[in-house]
A and B are shown apart, each in its own frame.
Chain A
Amino acid sequence: MIRLQVDQKVVAQRLLFYSFELELQKGELLCLLGPSGCGKTTLLNMIAGLDNNFDGLLQQDVSAADDQNGVEVGEGAMTVGKQPSKQQDRQPQAISYMFQQPRLLPWRTVRQNLQLVIDADRYHRIEPLLASMGLAGSAELYPSALSVGMERRVALARSLIVDPQLILMDEPFVSLDPPTATEMRQQVRRIRQQRPDTSILFVTHDLREAISLADRILILGGDPTRVLHQWHSEVLPEQRDHHYVAAQERLLLDHYQRRDCDWSEAAADVGRGAAVPVV
């Protein structure tokens, strides 16, 4: 569904990515794990179009339209592919982004924050969406009156209300207390059941969170950053119990921690970006 190919990306005079590829299927939840500074957020920003300063190619809807939607990026200049797309008025949103901080506009109420990102003909969706997230009574509140958990839920609601094909989540549940984080993860699972076509690209530091949610996990690391290990599971997210998560965590932990000792060895058994043995 979406394919990002980074030929070269330099950040702060350091070669961060070199010939790196990331592919995301329709309806898939892909987790990115890796040490801080390995470029997880940079990847999200490149996909979101916030960071166009790299050599490479970003393709959306690879299967649907035969490579016509490709966005060629190079030398900081962005040249849109062959189609001069009709991006004048607000189309159905392709990508929404849930930032690490909720980034609600503090001077707008919850309802206004949601209204901001959609057209007036979709305002009727706000009420039911808020209600489904347990925010029914909060529509007229300002963000400063919300708890941290509620703010995250509003941010999640905002990223959902635009009907995205892809949601980027950058450690969205970090610094939440465990029960609230659990509740939010439950919310994500529910969303996936309700919208099976929506893909999610999820960045996290929490291995257990990744295992309990993801269809596929990429462990990033190295210099320049590459995929050290790829994990995927046949077990449906709803059916993963504590035993399963704990067992998988032990397996993955090895790969996750290996970044501290020996990179070359870790990289040897996984090709750069290639498919790797499944746990």
Chain B
Amino acid sequence: MKTSEPLIRRCRSLESPISTANSCSSVSNPPGDLTMAGAASAGSRPRVFRLLAMLSPQPLVLLLILLLWQLLSMLLQQRLLPSPEQVAATLWQHFQSGELLYHLGATLARVGVSFTLSMLLGVVIGIAMGRSWQLNRWLDPLLVLLLNLPALVTIILLYIWLGMSELAAVLAVVINKVPNVVVALREGTRSLDPHYQELASIYRLSRWTRLRDVLLPQLAPYLLISARTGLALIWKIVLVVELLGRSEGVGFQLHLAFQMFDVAAILAYSLAFIAIVQAIEWLVLQPLEQRQRKWRRQSQTYRHQAESQPGTHSKQHLADSLSKERQSDSQLNKKQATPL
């Protein structure tokens, strides 16, 4: 994969519509046109920019934000914006007292439960609506209604109707999230390729194989996107739910801090929670996505390998066999007696 990156870049700088596969053959080209391309890009871009492009920007950006924060906190009053140092101290203090973990745990549990529930419900309803035209006709107005219902309204109403209970809290989050999942999965189900369905029925694939090898890979992008947006949306709603009617969780803590104008605590809790969500993104969602994309990305890698391996059907080999075919074709025309 590493070798392919500079190749792609070279392609772009040449501004040619040649695909990656073609650009591979340009490796063996005389270096003349490469240096020309290099000169063209080097002329417009100084070296510094190219060095910058090679660096991974994420830590750099974080560092810049931290610096800016420090500067601002020095300019402003301490109460309005405490310095990063103070926030870190508050974080540590809450961590040591066990408060941080307790409230984070409570919020995470709510996020987990409502995430699972809304994904399950949304997937089932979405697939059903994508399959059945009739069902879609009946449920679609309800879907539009729920999509446009403000999260706050659901939360307040459910608290009024069901009391300040855990059930009401989770239900409010689920009701807010399910419509999004339904929309994504309905789209996914509609875009299923009927050709693969035919294939499955010709080769009499079992129900399980159909699900695992035919349906799931086709739905995977839609599942992932709703999981992604779901996580982001759900944890925000959970905080509101907690702020309004629970006595534990990050939302509750934020509420307390708000009443006491404790900006350091507010920042500490939000940062802690953002870090956790980011960790879930890195450790769970991105690996999943990469796995799902493997068959697309690896195909390029394999193409490189196949081309370097003698004996496999590399480009060279193919060209060889083509020229052989051509020869035999011309022989064929001369003799006019060999089978077609």
Contact = CB atoms under 8 A, between A and B. Distances in A.
Nearest to A162: B203
Given A116-B213, A179-B322, A185-B340, A142 B203 contact: no
B338 A145 contact: no
A106 B199 contact: no
Given A105-B196, A145-B306, A179-B326, A50 B337 contact: no
B312 A240 contact: no
B186 to A, nearest CB: 22
A106 B295 contact: yes
A112 B204 CA distance: 16
Nearest to B198: A50
A117 B213 CA distance: 11
Contacts of A145: 298-300, 302-303, 306
B340 A182 contact: yes
A77 interface: no
Contacts of A43: none
Interface in A151-166: 158, 162
Interface in A181-211: 182-183, 185, 208-209
Given A107-B217, A208-B340, A243-B336, A150 B198 contact: no
A138 B313 contact: yes
Nearest to A116: B213
A141 B202 contact: no
- Main SS at interface, chain B: helix
Contacts of A142: 295-296, 298-299, 302
Interface string B10-47: 00000000000000000000000000000000000000
Interface in A243-264: 243, 245
Interface residues of B, number: 38
Interface string B312-340: 11000010011001100100100011111
A144 interface: yes
B339 A241 contact: yes
B201 interface: yes
B191 to A, nearest CB: 14
Interface stretch (A19-27, A30-38, A66-74, A91-99): A91-99
Contact of A50 (B196, B202, B322): B202
B337 A101 contact: no
Contacts of B137: none
B295 A99 contact: no
Contacts of B195: 99, 101, 103
A182 B332 CA distance: 12
Contacts, number: 111
Interface centre among A87, A238, A239, A242 (most CB of B within 10 A): A242
Interface in B291-312: 295-296, 298-300, 302-303, 306, 309, 311-312
B276 interface: no
A183 B325 contact: yes
B205 interface: yes
B128 interface: no
Interface residues of A, number: 52
A50 B201 contact: yes
Given A137-B311, A242-B337, A96 B203 contact: yes
A182 B327 CA distance: 13
Contacts of B312: 137-138
A117 B203 CA distance: 6
B327 to A, nearest CB: 10
Contacts of B213: 105, 108, 112, 116
Nearest to A242: B336
A180 B326 CA distance: 11
B247 interface: no
A242 B295 contact: no
Nearest to A95: B202
A116 B205 contact: yes
A192 to B, nearest CB: 13
B209 interface: yes
B121 interface: no
B214 A105 contact: yes
Contacts of B214: 105
Contact of B325 (A101, A146, A179): A179
A238 B321 contact: no
8 contacts: A95-B202, A116-B203, A137-B312, A145-B299, A145-B306, A240-B340, A242-B336, A245-B340
Interface of B: 195-196, 198-199, 201-206, 209, 213-214, 217, 295-296, 298-300, 302-303, 306, 309, 311-313, 318, 321-322, 325-326, 329, 332, 336-340
Closest 7 CB pairs of A and B: A179-B325, A144-B299, A137-B312, A117-B203, A212-B340, A107-B217, A145-B299
